[in-house]
């Protein structure tokens, strides 16, 4: 994001994000800043009717043909926008040539780009065109005069399988937008942590969600959310009301997700016209097109000695010792061994304890490399630990962290006992009956986990690729050079 010409209000640090993307052999540098946060503090009213909940009314279906050629017409790239950048990166060899589904999605993003640029004034996107006093008092006046100010432009909800380039395509769109616009790009995990942190600050207010929505919309009219997912009823209800306020304040949402709108939350989905839903129908997982790298994902038992040896090689002359790091709102996390930006944990210490995304974000903020000993195969007996492992991988991937681990099997084998209800119904009848065979006794039928496992398998594969690890090494070298230069100046 280009630097602001002059300072504007104090922006919450959790919403400052330098975007990045990864597709095939192309990786762009990513940095991620997140402010302090706390666990959920927003309590549901006792009379809340959860069974009547329907997720935010934000989507309208839009069919799109994927029969178009994967090549972009010259007439389509004679203007600014994501299509131009896409063609430039392919020509420069920074991206592998996409398929028709990716190009179709780019046309949807280009359509949105053109509409937003044309309606920039009506959408109040220019941060400098809105007087600071007006911004500061907008929430106050909204309390006196209740009125909605929906954006004239509909947002976009991109969904599709893992590794199909959703994040890369959204980042292409985001990077082409003017730097003086009120916009932000943030991972959904970060977004929810930020929302809970704001809710805690506004405890005691009659409607804290309205205040939070006012703050967010003051900072960003265009909100790009990566990896939109809803697995918690309390978060779902918070999001339902929050997005109604955000859309009423004129916010435009661009989101990516592995789930179709109808499957975003088990409780169902209402329809409205705040976002166009578009499916990336590609069956290609571009993360798995990378070159495999041996030596960082160790499969088998009794390999802790080898893992510790590799860990010691990474820390060099530094001596690993127990450390205590602050992760969130004064909370701390015990690190068994840490040195030179590397931390060593057993699987139980990170995934069998009551830790969550906030703790893992704090860990990645302090350490760029994580050695994890003893990742087990997952099933019914350790379902909760599987959820935490999925979250850990998500956070590490988003922060471009490096993972060394020992595991009982390949990424696919770790999750072979995790299935969705649909998968279970297609299995032999005894699999879902009380007379299951002993080897099926650990089968875990869980829709959320069964759906998330594909993303985790894909990310673990990419995180062990030659391209990913080379990019990590380059970033570490660059960070070290910057640190050395700062030391010399000091």
Do 367 and 390 lie in a common domain?
yes
Do residues 210 and 255 share a domain?
yes
Same domain, 389 and 270: no
Same domain, 173 and 94: yes
User: What pLDDT score does 284 carry?
Assistant: 58
Q: Are 400 and 475 in contact (CB under 8 A)?
A: yes
Residue 38 forms part of a structural domain: no
Which of 231, 257, 283 is the endpoint of a domain?
283
Q: In this structure, are 213 and 301 located in the same domain?
A: no
CA distance 23 to 167: 9
Separation between Cα atoms, residue 82 and residue 177, nearest integer Å: 9
Alpha-carbon Rg for the chain in angstroms: 23
Pair (402, 314) in one structural domain: yes
**Given the structure tokens 């099933």, which residue do they identify?**
379
Range of the domain at 471: 294-426+441-489
The helix-helix angle for 100-118 and 82-91 (nearest 10°) equals 140
User: Which CATH number characterizes residue 86's domain?
Assistant: 3.40.50.300
Tokens representing residue 168 in the block: 């890369």
What CA–CA distance (Å, rounded) separates 287 from 73? 27
Helix (H) or strand (E) holding 418: strand 418-419
Instruction: Establish if 136 belongs to a structural domain.
Output: no
- Asked whether residue 135 is domain-assigned, the answer is no
In a domain, 200, yes or no: yes
404 in any annotated domain: yes
Q: Is the pTM of this model over 0.75?
A: no
Are 235 and 271 found together in one domain?
Answer: yes
Residue 334 lies in a domain: yes
Task: Check if the beta carbon of residue 8 is closer than 8 Å to that of residue 127.
Answer: yes
The structural domain count of the chain equals: 2
Residues 6+ apart with CB under 8 A from 414: 375, 376, 377, 378, 407, 408, 457
Identify the pLDDT of residue 421.
Answer: 86
Does residue 170 sit in the same domain as residue 94? Answer: yes
Same structural domain, 264 and 345: no
246 shares its domain with 358: no
The per-residue pLDDT for 40 is: 37
Nearest to 321 by CA among 289, 350, 343: 343
Establish if 11 belongs to a structural domain.
no
pLDDT tens digits for the chain (490 residues)?
Answer: 333 333 333 333 333 333 333 333 333 333 332 233 333 344 434 443 333 334 444 555 443 433 333 444 444 434 689 988 888 888 887 776 666 778 888 899 999 999 999 999 999 998 877 554 444 455 454 554 445 688 999 999 998 877 777 888 899 999 999 999 999 999 888 898 899 889 989 988 899 999 999 999 999 999 999 988 887 778 888 888 999 999 999 999 999 988 888 777 654 334 457 888 988 876 555 555 555 455 588 888 888 888 998 999 999 999 999 999 988 777 899 999 999 999 999 999 999 999 999 899 999 999 999 999 999 999 999 999 999 999 999 999 989 999 999 999 889 899 999 998 888 887 755 444 444 444 567 899 998 898 889 889 988 988 888 888 888 888 888 887 787 777 777 6
Based on the fold, state whether residues 256 and 397 are members of the same structural domain.
no
Spatial CB neighbours of 206, under 8 Å, sequence gap ≥ 6: none
Domain boundary among 283, 312, 335: 283
- 443 to 83, 255, 387, 416, 446: CA distances (angstroms): 45, 33, 15, 9, 9
Same domain, 159 and 181: yes
* 335-361 b/e (C-beta count within 10 Å ≥ 16 → b): bbbbbebbbbbbbebbbeeebbbbbbb
**pLDDT for res 353:** 94
Closest CA to 329 of 204, 199, 454, 209: 199
**pLDDT tens profile 164-179:** 778 888 999 999 999 9
């Amino acid at each position: 994001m280009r630097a602001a010409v002059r300072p504007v209000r104090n922006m919450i640090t959790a919403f400052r994000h330098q975007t990045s993307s990864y597709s095939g052999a192309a990786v762009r540098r990513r940095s991620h800043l997140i402010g302090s946060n706390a666990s959920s503090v927003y309590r549901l009213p006792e009379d809340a009717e959860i069974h009547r909940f329907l997720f935010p009314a934000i989507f309208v279906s839009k069919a799109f043909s994927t029969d178009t050629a994967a090549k972009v017409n010259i007439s389509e790239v004679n203007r600014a926008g994501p299509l131009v950048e896409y063609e430039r990166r392919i020509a420069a060899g920074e991206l592998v040539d996409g398929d028709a589904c990716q190009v179709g999605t780019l046309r949807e993003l280009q359509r949105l780009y053109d509409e937003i640029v044309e309606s920039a004034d009506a959408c109040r996107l220019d941060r400098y065109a809105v007087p600071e006093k007006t911004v500061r008092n907008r929430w106050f006046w909204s309390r006196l005069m209740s009125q909605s100010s929906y954006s004239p432009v509909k947002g976009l909800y991109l969904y599709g399988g893992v590794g199909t380039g959703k994040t890369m395509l959204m980042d292409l769109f985001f990077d082409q937008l003017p730097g003086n616009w009120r916009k932000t790009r943030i991972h959904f995990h970060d977004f929810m942590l930020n929302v809970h942190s704001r809710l805690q600050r506004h405890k005691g207010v009659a409607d804290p969600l309205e205040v939070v929505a006012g703050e967010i919309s003051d900072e960003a009219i265009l909100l790009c959310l990566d990896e939109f997912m809803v697995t918690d009823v309390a978060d779902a209800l918070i999001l339902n009301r929050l997005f109604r306020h955000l859309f009423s304040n004129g916010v435009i949402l661009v989101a990516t997700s592995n789930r179709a709108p109808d499957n975003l939350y088990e409780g169902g989905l209402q329809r409205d016209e705040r976002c166009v839903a578009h499916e990336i129908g590609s069956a290609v997982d571009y993360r798995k097109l990378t070159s495999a790298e041996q030596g960082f994902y160790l499969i088998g038992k009794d390999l802790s000695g080898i893992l510790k040896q590799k860990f010691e090689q990474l820390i060099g002359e530094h001596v690993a010792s127990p450390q205590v790091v602050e992760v969130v709102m004064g909370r701390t996390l015990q690190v068994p061994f840490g040195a030179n930006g590397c931390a060593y944990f057993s699987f139980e210490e990170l995934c069998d304890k009551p830790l969550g995304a906030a703790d893992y974000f704090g860990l990645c903020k302090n350490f760029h490399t994580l050695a994890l000993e003893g990742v087990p195969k997952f099933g019914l007996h350790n379902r909760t630990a599987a959820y935490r492992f999925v979250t850990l991988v998500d956070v590490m991937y988003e922060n471009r962290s490096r993972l060394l681990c020992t595991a009982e099997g390949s990424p696919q084998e770790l999750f072979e006992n995790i299935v969705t209800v649909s998968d279970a119904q297609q299995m032999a009848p005894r699999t879902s009956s009380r007379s299951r065979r002993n080897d099926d006794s650990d089968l875990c039928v869980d829709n959320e986990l069964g759906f998330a496992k594909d993303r985790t398998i894909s990310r673990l594969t990419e995180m062990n690729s030659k391209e990913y690890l080379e990019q990590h090494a380059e970033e570490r070298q660059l960070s070290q050079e910057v640190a050395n230069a700062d030391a010399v100046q000091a």
